[in-house]
Amino acid sequence: MKPFGIKDKLGYMFGDFGNDFTFILSGIMLMKFYSDVMGVSVGLVGTMMMAARFLDAFTDVTMGQIVDRSRPGRKGKFLPWIRRMSAPVAIASFLMYASWFADMPMGFRIFWMFFSYLLWGSIFYTGINIPYGSMASAISADTKDRAQLSSWRTIGATLAGSLIGVALPLIVYYQDAAGNQILSGTRTMVAALICSIGAVICYALCYRLTTERVKVAQKTEKFYFGDLMRDLVKNRALTGIVICSILMLLVQLTMQSMTTYIYPNYFRNVAAQSASGMVGLIVTLGLSPFVVGLQVKLGRKELAVYGSIFGAVVFFVAWMTQTHNAWLYVILYALAYFGLAIFQLICWAMITDVIDDTEVRTGERSDGTIYSVYSFARKLGQAASAGITGLLLSVIGYTAETAYDPTVTRGIFNLSCLVPAVGFAILALALKYLYPLDRKRVETNTRILGEKK
C-alpha cells in the first residue's frame, strides 16, 4: 500500500471543503434568509435550529453505529459512505433556500423551513459527516500524520468559509432607493446551488485521493444505548472535548453569522464584509505551517488555551472601542481569529487523541461511535449559536422593518463583540479544567498503543 503523503492530505482537505460548502452557508445565511426573505422571525429560526439537535442525538449515534458495523470493502470502511451520501446532502442543502415559496402562506413557509433543514442537517449531513470524520484514524496510525490531517481539514473548511464569505456578500445583496443593502432571495438560491455543486465535486476528490491504511474491524456485538451513555459519562476526555467543541462552535458561528448583520446594518459596508471573508483563509494558512510544531512542543490542549485567551481579549478590546470604522473592525476581527484558528487547526487531532485514550482505558476502539458523539456536540454548538443569536437579535428588536434603526444597530455591534468574547473566555476555562489530555498523557497513550500493535 502506498505510504501516507500529499494525496491523503489534499483528499482529506477536500472532504471538509465539501462539508463546509453547505455547513458554513447554513451558519451564515439561513437565519437572515428566513427572516429577511421569507418573513419568519429570527427567534423561531433559532428555536428550530436548537430543536433539531434533539433529533440529532439519535441520528448521529445511529450513524456512528452503522459506520462501526459496516463491512470494510475495497476502498475501506468509511470512504464508500462519502460517495453514497454526497448527492443527497447537496440537494437537501439547495432546497433550504427555496425562495420560490416566499409568497406562500406563512404556515407553509415555516413547514418548509423545518422539513428542509431536518432533511439536510439531521439525516444527509449526518450520513456523510460521521464517516468522514471517523476516517482520520484509518488513514494513518501515526500521531504526527493525524496532526497534519487535522491542519489540512481545517484548511479545507477555511477555504470554503473564505470563498463563501468573500463572494456571497457581493452576490446576494442589492441596494434599495434609500441606500440600504437588501438580501435577494433569488440570488441567495443561486448561490446555494453553486455551493451544492461545489460540495459534490469536493466529495468526489476526497473519495479519489484518500487511502484507508488502518483496517478497522467490523463491530458485531449487540448495541445498548444505555451502556453507551454510561460509558460516555465516565469518559472524561470525551466529555471535555464535547464541551469545548460546543463552545468553539458557538464562538466561530456567532462570529460568522453576525457578519451578515454588523456590516450591512451597522457599518453599511458590504465591501468590508467581503474583505472579512478572507480573514479566515489568510490567518489559517499563515498559522498552519507552525501549528504542528507548536502542538508537539507545547501540547494541543495547552496551545488551545493560549489561543482562546487571546481571542477573548481582542473581542473585549473591540467592544471597548465602539468604533464606526468598518475597516478597524475587520483588523480586530482578524486578530481575534488567530485564537479561533489555533483551536480549529488542532481540534480534529484532539478527537483522535480521545479515541486513542478510550482504547487504552477500555481495550476497545469505536471510532465511528465516538466521532458521532463529537459530531453531535458540534451540532449543539451550531444550535447554541443560532439559538442565542436569534434570541438576542429578538431582544434588541431586530426585524426586517427595524433592521436599520440606530438602537438596533448599536445592539448588533455589542452582540458581535461580547458574545464571542465571553465564549472564548469560557472555552479557555473548559480546556484548562475539563479536558484532561495534556501533552504528557497523549505521548503516553501513543507509546502504549504502539507497543500493543
Q: How many beta carbons lie within 10 A of that of residue 71, not counting itself?
A: 8
Could you write out the DSSP letters of every residue in 417-442?
Answer: HHHHHHHHHHHHHHHHHT----HHHH
The per-residue pLDDT for 157 is: 82
- Three cell numbers, residue 190: 443561486
Beta bridge partners of 182: 174
- Three cell numbers, residue 137: 484514524
Distances in whole angstroms, Cα of residue 356 to Cα of each of 215, 242, 411, 433: 15, 16, 45, 20
The per-residue pLDDT for 35 is: 85
Alpha-helix residue ranges (DSSP H) falling in 322-405: 326-362, 367-395
The per-residue pLDDT for 192 is: 93
Quick one: CA torsion of 255, 259, 260, 265, rounded to 10 degrees?
Answer: 130
Residue 178 is classified by DSSP as T
pLDDT by 10-residue block (mean), the chain, 453 residues: 86 92 86 88 82 77 80 82 93 93 91 92 89 84 78 83 81 79 87 94 94 72 60 79 86 84 88 82 81 80 92 95 92 92 83 84 72 72 75 83 88 93 94 89 83 73
Dist. CA 407–CA 85, nearest whole Å: 45
Instruction: State how far Cα 315 lies from the chain centre.
Output: 20
Nearest to 14 by CA among 190, 106, 132, 112: 132
The per-residue pLDDT for 384 is: 74
Dist. CA 372–CA 370, nearest whole Å: 5
Distances in whole angstroms, Cα of residue 359 to Cα of each of 55, 238, 245, 367: 28, 12, 21, 10
- Three cell numbers, residue 284: 489559517
Instruction: State how far Cα 117 lies from the chain centre.
Output: 16
Entry pTM: 0.68
Dihedrals phi, psi of 69, to nearest 5 degrees: -95, 0
Dihedrals phi, psi of 183, to nearest 5 degrees: -75, 130
Half-sphere exposure of 212 (CA within 13 A, CB side): 23
Q: How many beta carbons lie within 10 A of that of residue 247, not counting itself?
A: 25
The per-residue pLDDT for 115 is: 93
With contact defined as beta carbons under 8 Å apart, do 83 and 131 qualify? no
- Three cell numbers, residue 104: 406562500
- Three cell numbers, residue 326: 468598518
